[in-house]
Structure 1
Amino acid sequence: MIRVKICGITSYEDARAAVESGADALGFIFVRGTPRYIEPEEVAAIAAQLPPFITTVGVFSNRTPDEVEQIVSRSGLSLAQLHGDESPADCRRLRTPFVKAIRVQGEHDLEALHTYPQARAFLLDTYVADRPGGTGRSFPWEIAAKAVRQARVILSGGLTPDNVALAVTQVRPYAVDVCSGVEASPGRKDHQKVREFIEQARKADAR
């Protein structure tokens, strides 16, 4: 069954609504200066109230391995998601399991799938200059479909309740990840959109 991650969580209310709607994972963004930034202590308080078997993911961009490890420890996270220019050498230093994000402009970006052997999966997102993620824009899904044949892929970038079924059908990824596509405003989730997104993803996966 396809996995679903709801990213950019900033409150327990949104976390609970996502979990009750069937989300497998929740993402918390530790990139300062973004509208979805959250402090590690706030994440720890939210995570402490979640049911078991929900994966909590910290989103980082160009933090040092030591900084990532410290925030993971303070927040009680399950997994790190690296959205910056982290080198393979930096990633090898991490003790925390991680997903490496690849900002896709073209097929040549898939070469990175072979340079991070420790990555548990690769999140494919849309390249937008000076923005590590949360752009609300999609990229050609045929590129993601090729990546699925090479690695475990989490599809992201411009997904919404209206297009996630088509994305799942065309790409057949391991998981889908959504942030701005289910928001009422930056950092605040629309709970109905969250439910619809998960329902559409699961229906498409079952067909």
Structure 2
Amino acid sequence: MSHTRIKFCGMTRAEDVRLAVELGVDFIGLILAERSPRRLLPGQARALRALVPEEIGVVALVMDNPRGEVADIVAGLHPDYLQFHGGEDDAFCAGFGLPFFKAIAMGDGGDPLEAMANFPSAHGFVLDGHGAGEQGGSGRSFDWTRLPKDSGRPVLLAGGLSPDNVALAIRTAHPWGVDVSSGIEATPGVKDAAKMRRFADAVRAADAAV
């Protein structure tokens, strides 16, 4: 059976993090980007991070945060990964001593492989449906067949995923992982427990059917 990694992103509540842990997701995303409606203050992020066991990766998301601020996040939060959503270049992203994911905006119709080639240091990529310079978590999808088939590095499919379409997304694109935020929410930052369970179940059912 294949294993599609699951990332629940934009977590803001302890009860949602606890359920994500119970469901055995692979990554939990905590957002520290200033413009995000799911933004956490450093103390809030540390409290949620403390609930995550070491077998689940904690990803700290930033977007054009100043270098000193990112360094403070690394020192105070101790995330396992960083994820960059802004105009950061490869040298900036690689400068904090952690593996990182770079978000690639797919809403503008560009070639993702060209964009990915600009980040030789990246551990992996998050291909999202938003346009360049926009926030992730918009719930906008893109043509899943545009996902590179062999990028040589992990690729998380994001943008418009939900419990109802994630199995089709996996069958279509065969991503290394899937990344969901708004598709498992009641309101921005407030996750819906039933949707979280259905999403995880749908991913595992799709894997089992391969």
By the TM > 0.5 criterion, same fold? yes
* d(CA) in 1 for partners of 2:164, 2:85: 25
Q: Of 5, 9, 12, which aligns to 1:10?
A: 12
Counterpart position of 2:87: 85
Q: Which amino acid aligns with 2:23?
A: S
Task: Tell me the CA shift for residue 50 of structure 1.
Answer: 2.3
For 1:193, the equivalent position in structure 2 comes to 195
Aligned alpha-carbon RMSD (Å): 1.5
Is 1:44–1:75's contact at 8 Å kept on the other side of the alignment?
yes
1:119 positional shift: 0.7
Following the alignment from structure 1 to structure 2, what is the Cα–Cα distance between the partners of residues 79 and 203? 27
**Per-residue CA shift, 1:95-140, capped at 9, x if unaligned?**
1210011001224233011121111111000123652211101011
* 1:93 match: secondary structure: helix
Corresponding letter in the other structure for 1:52: E
Q: Which residue of 2 aligns with 1:20?
A: 22
Does the aligned pair in 1 maintain the 2:64–2:87 contact within 8 Å? yes
- Which stretch shifts more, 184-193 or 84-93? 84-93
Deviates more, 1:37-46 or 1:166-175: 37-46
The count of corresponding residues between Structure 1 and Structure 2 is 205
- The answer to whether 1:109 aligns with 2:115 is no
SS at match of 2:97: coil
* Structure 2 portions without partners, runs of 5+: none
When residues 94 and 3 of structure 1 are mapped into structure 2, their CA distance, relative to the original with a 3 A threshold, is same
Structure 1 length-normalised TM: 0.93
Task: Specify the alignment match of 1:135 in structure 2.
Answer: 138
Residue 119 of structure 1 corresponds to: 122
Matched letter for residue 167 of structure 2: A
Q: Distance in 2 between matches of 1:121 and 1:129?
A: 18
2:173 is matched with 171
Q: Return the match for 1:57 from 46, 56, 59.
A: 59
Tell me the SS of whatever aligns to 1:177. Answer: strand
Give the Cα separation in 1 of the matches to 2:121 and 2:174. 22
Contact 1:18-1:191 at 8 Å conserved across structures: no
Are the aligned partners of 2:6 and 2:25 in contact in 1 as well (CA < 8 Å)? yes
- Contact between 1:136 and 1:157, CA under 8 Å: does it hold in 2? yes
* Superposition TM-score, scaled by structure 2 size: 0.92
| 1:45-64 Cα distance to aligned partner (Å, 9 max, x none) | 22223223111111110123
5+ residue gaps in structure 1? none
Sequence identity (%): 42
2-side partners of 1:97 and 1:61: how far apart?
A: 16
